[in-house]
C-alpha cells in the first residue's frame, strides 16, 4: 500500500489521507511516486518481506528525498511546517509552459471546498460533515472519511486542535488489524501516541477510588443541569396519545452503550409509560441487540408483567437496515417496504396497523444516536417525507452540533449525555430503585473526580507551558 510519511512526526499515512492519523498535521495531496523507468522489471514484484528487511541504499534514499519527477501539488495544499512564502515562490517559479498540463490536472481533481475547523470538528464527531455513503462506499470499512479541506487555518493551530479531539485508540487498534504487515513494519518503532502514563494512572486511580469510596448521595444538591432542549423533549413525549406510532432509529451499539444507555433508558421508559408503540430500526449491526436490552430494562423498571407480552404488543425490535443514507429515505417514501423484519420473520407486519404509517407518518420520530451524523441524516433523509416531530437522544459530544437543528425547529427536543439522562429522570419524577440509586451515586462521584482531575491536568499543563516558555 502506498503511504505518505508525515513531515511532522514521521507517521506513515495512507496516500489519500488529508491529515496525519497520529498528530493531525495536514498532508499535502500528492500522487503516489512512480516507479523509475530504470529499475529492473522484477523490482516491482519484490515481496513485502524484502521491502521490510532491506534497508534502502544510498541511491534509493536520495531518490526518496528528492524524487526526479516531483509530483505536482495542488496550489492550495500546505504542509506544515513548510513556509508559506517558500511555497508561493515555488509556484511562481514554475515554467509557464507547464501551465496547460496543470490546468488539465486541476480539472481532474475536485476543487477543495471545505476548510478550516470543519476538519477539526470532524474527528470529535466522526463523519459529521461528509455524506457517509459517498465518502465511504465500503460499508464494512470504518475509517474516518478523508477531508477535502482547503487549508485556511494556521497549520500548527489546526494540528494542535485536531490532536486534542483525536480519539487515538480506536483508530490505532482498528488500523493495525487492517494494516498490511509491510506498512506496519515501517511504522513500528515510532512513538506514535503522545501518551502521559502518569496522568492516565492518576485518572485510573481517581476513578476507581471514586467508584469504591467516593459515591455521592443522589439526593444531595440540585442534581444535573438540564441543557436547553430537554424540557421540549419531555413535553413532546408527554403530549403523545396512547397507541401512537413512534419510529425509533437506534444508532448506537455497545461501544458507546456505557454512556448512551443512561440517556436512552429514561426516554424509552417515558414512551412505554405513554403506551406508545415503538418501531425500532437500526443501521448498526450491534444496534438491534443494544435496543432489545434497553427496552427490556425499561420494561423491568416499569414492572411490567411479562417482557414477552410487552414486546409483542408495544415494540417491534430487531430491524437492521444496511445501505446507510442511501436506504434510509425508504422509511419515509415506503415505510411498509422498509420496516424491519422480525428475526423469525413471522407475521410482524400485521402486528401494528402500519398502513397508517404510510398515510400520515409516525406521531413522533426518536433518534437515539451516539453521533450527530445519524440525527442529521435522519433530518435530511426521513423527516422531509412525513414531517413528524423528531426528538434526539444523543451522546454528550453530539449536543453542540445539533443546536442549529433545535433552533430551526427541525428537532422538537434534545436530550444529551449522562447529565441529560439524569435530568430527564428528575423531570419525569420517577423514583429509582435502590440499585439504580447506588449506581447513579457511584457514577456521580466518579464523574466528579474524573472532571476534577481533567481540570487539574489542564491547569497543570498551562503551568508547565508557562514554565517552558520562560526557560531559555
Partner 1 sequence: MFSSRSNWQNRIGLLVAAACALLVISVRFGLAFAPPAAAATLYGWALLLGGFALLLGIANAIWHHFVRVQRGQREWGFSLLLLIVFALVFGAGVSSPGGSAAPLAEWVFDAVIAPGQATLYALTGFFLLGAAYRFLRFNRPGGLWILAGALLMLLVQTPFFYRLVPAALVGLLDWLLNWPVMAAMRGVLLGGALGVLFISLRLIMSGAK
Partner 2 sequence: MNPFSSGLPGLMQDAGLVLGLVISLAIGSYLIRDNFLARLGQYILVGAGLGYTAVLVWGNVLWPRLFAPLLADPMVWLSVPESALLHRWLPLILGLLMWGGGAELLRQPPSGLGGRYILRILAAVPAAILIGVGLGVGVSGAVQGTLLPQLTAAALPPQAEVSTAGGGLPAAAQATWLVRLITLVITGGVLIHLQFGREVGGSRDAPALQPSSDIPTSEVSGQGRAPRYRMLLYSPLRVWEGIGRRALWLAAGILFARLALARFSLALARLDYFLFEVPRSELWQLIWAAVRGAGS
CA nearest to 287, candidates 246, 313, 317, 263 = 317
269 contacts partner 1 (rule: CB under 8 A): no
Residue whose cell numbers read 434497553: 294
Q: Show the beta-strand stretches assigned E in 266-347.
A: 277-282, 315-320
Q: Does 419 bind partner 2 (CB under 8 A)?
A: yes
Using the rule CB under 8 A, give the single segment among 43-51, 108-116, 228-236, 460-468 that binds partner 2: 108-116
- Segment interacting with partner 2, rule: CB under 8 A, options 7-15, 265-273, 342-350, 463-471: 342-350
Q: Which does 298 bind (CB under 5 to 8 A by kind): partner 1, partner 2, none?
A: none
Instruction: Tell me if 282 contacts partner 1 by CB under 8 A.
Output: no
Task: Pick one of 91, 154, 275, 353: the residue that binds partner 1 (CB under 8 A).
Answer: 154
Query: How long a stretch of residues is the chain?
Result: 472
Task: Using the minimum distance from each CB to partner 2, give the nearer residue, 262 or 424.
Answer: 262
Q: Least separation, in Å, of the C-beta of 301 and partner 1?
A: 20
Dig out the grid coordinates for 398 from the structure: 453530539
Helical (H) or strand (E) element with 412: strand 411-416
3 state SS of 367: strand
CB 162 within 8 A of CB 8: no
In sequence order, which residues have a C-beta less than 8 Å from that of residue 43 and are 6 or more positions away?
35
Among 89, 134, 190, 355, binds partner 1 (CB under 8 A): 134
Asked whether position 150 contacts partner 2 by CB under 8 A, the answer is yes
Task: At 100, give phi and psi (nearest 5°).
Answer: -65, -45
x/- map, 164-203, partner 1, by CB under 8 A: xxxxxxx--x----x--x--xx-------xxxx--xx--x
Residues 372/354, Cβ–Cβ less than 8 Å: no
Residue among 274 and 439 whose Cβ is closer to partner 2: 439
Q: What are the residues whose beta carbons fall under 8 Å from the beta carbon of 262, sequence distance 6 or more?
A: 418, 421, 422
Helix axes 254-273, 417-428, angle to 10 degrees: 20
- Binding mask of the shown chain, residues 67 to 96, with x at each position contacting partner 1 by CB under 8 A: ------------------------------
Does residue 358 bind partner 2 (CB under 8 A)?
no
Q: Which one, 88 or 407, has the nearer CB to partner 1?
A: 407
Q: What is the CA radius of gyration of the chain?
A: 27
Cα gap 428→266, rounded to integer Å = 8
CB of 62 to partner 1, least distance (A): 30
- Asked whether position 169 contacts partner 2 by CB under 8 A, the answer is yes
Q: Out of partner 1, partner 2, none, which partner does residue 206 contact, by CB within 5 to 8 A per kind?
A: none
**In angstroms, rounded to a whole number, what is the distance separating the alpha carbons of residues 360 and 363?**
8
Pick from 9, 52, 105, 121: which binds partner 2 (CB under 8 A)? 121
**Grid cell of 430 as nine digits:** 420517577
Tell whether residue 25 is a contact of partner 2 (CB under 8 A).
no
Task: Find the binder of partner 1 among 50, 88, 91, 407 (CB under 8 A).
Answer: 407
Of residues 353 through 382, those in contact with partner 1 by CB under 8 A are 376
Amino acid at each position: 500500500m502506498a503511504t505518505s510519511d508525515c513531515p511532522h512526526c514521521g507517521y506513515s499515512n495512507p496516500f489519500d489521507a488529508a491529515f496525519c492519523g497520529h498528530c493531525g498535521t495536514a498532508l499535502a495531496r500528492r500522487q503516489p511516486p512512480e516507479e523509475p523507468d530504470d529499475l529492473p522489471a522484477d523490482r516491482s514484484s519484490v515481496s513485502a518481506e524484502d521491502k521490510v528487511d532491506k534497508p534502502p541504499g544510498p541511491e534509493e534514499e536520495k531518490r526518496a528525498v528528492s524524487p526526479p519527477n516531483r509530483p505536482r501539488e495542488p496550489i492550495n495544499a500546505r504542509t506544515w511546517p513548510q513556509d508559506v512564502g517558500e511555497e508561493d515562490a515555488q509556484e511562481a517559479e514554475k515554467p509557464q509552459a507547464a501551465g496547460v498540463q496543470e490546468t488539465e490536472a486541476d480539472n481532474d481533481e475536485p476543487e477543495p471546498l471545505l476548510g478550516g475547523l470543519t476538519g477539526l470538528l470532524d474527528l470529535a464527531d466522526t463523519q459529521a460533515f461528509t455524506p457517509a455513503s459517498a465518502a465511504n462506499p465500503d460499508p464494512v470499512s470504518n475509517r474516518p472519511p478523508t477531508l477535502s479541506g482547503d487549508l485556511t487555518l494556521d497549520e500548527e493551530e489546526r494540528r494542535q486542535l485536531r490532536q486534542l479531539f483525536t480519539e487515538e485508540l480506536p483508530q490505532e487498534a482498528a488500523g493495525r488489524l487492517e494494516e498490511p504487515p509491510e506498512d506496519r513494519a515501517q511504522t513500528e518503532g515510532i512513538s506514535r501516541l503522545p501518551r502521559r502514563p502518569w496522568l492516565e494512572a492518576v485518572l485510573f486511580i481517581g476513578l476507581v477510588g471514586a467508584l469504591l469510596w467516593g459515591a455521592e448521595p443522589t439526593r444531595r444538591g440540585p442534581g444535573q443541569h438540564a441543557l436547553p432542549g430537554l424540557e421540549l423533549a419531555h413535553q413532546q413525549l408527554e403530549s403523545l396519545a396512547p397507541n401512537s406510532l413512534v419510529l425509533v432509529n437506534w444508532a448506537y451499539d455497545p461501544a458507546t452503550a456505557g454512556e448512551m444507555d443512561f440517556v436512552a433508558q429514561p426516554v424509552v421508559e417515558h414512551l412505554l409509560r405513554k403506551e406508545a408503540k415503538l418501531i425500532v430500526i437500526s443501521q448498526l449491526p450491534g444496534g438491534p441487540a443494544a435496543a432489545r436490552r434497553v427496552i427490556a430494562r425499561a420494561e423491568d423498571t416499569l414492572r411490567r408483567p411479562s417482557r414477552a407480552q410487552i414486546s409483542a404488543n408495544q415494540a417491534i425490535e430487531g430491524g437492521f437496515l444496511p445501505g446507510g443514507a442511501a436506504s434510509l429515505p425508504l422509511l419515509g417514501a415506503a415505510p411498509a417496504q422498509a420496516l424491519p423484519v422480525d428475526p423469525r420473520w413471522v407475521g410482524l407486519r400485521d402486528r401494528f396497523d402500519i398502513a397508517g404509517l404510510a398515510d400520515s407518518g409516525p406521531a413522533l420520530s426518536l433518534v437515539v444516536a451516539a453521533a450527530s451524523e445519524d440525527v442529521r441524516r435522519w433530518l435530511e433523509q426521513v423527516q422531509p417525507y412525513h414531517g413528524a416531530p423528531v426528538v434526539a437522544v444523543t451522546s454528550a459530544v453530539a449536543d453542540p452540533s445539533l443546536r442549529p437543528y433545535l433552533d430551526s425547529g427541525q428537532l422538537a427536543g434534545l436530550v444529551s449525555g449522562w447529565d441529560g439522562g439524569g435530568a430527564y429522570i428528575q423531570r419525569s419524577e420517577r423514583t429509582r430503585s435502590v440499585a439504580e440509586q447506588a449506581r447513579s451515586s457511584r457514577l456521580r462521584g466518579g464523574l466528579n473526580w474524573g472532571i476534577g482531575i481533567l481540570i487539574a491536568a489542564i491547569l497543570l499543563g498551562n503551568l508547565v507551558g508557562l514554565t517552558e516558555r520562560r526557560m531559555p
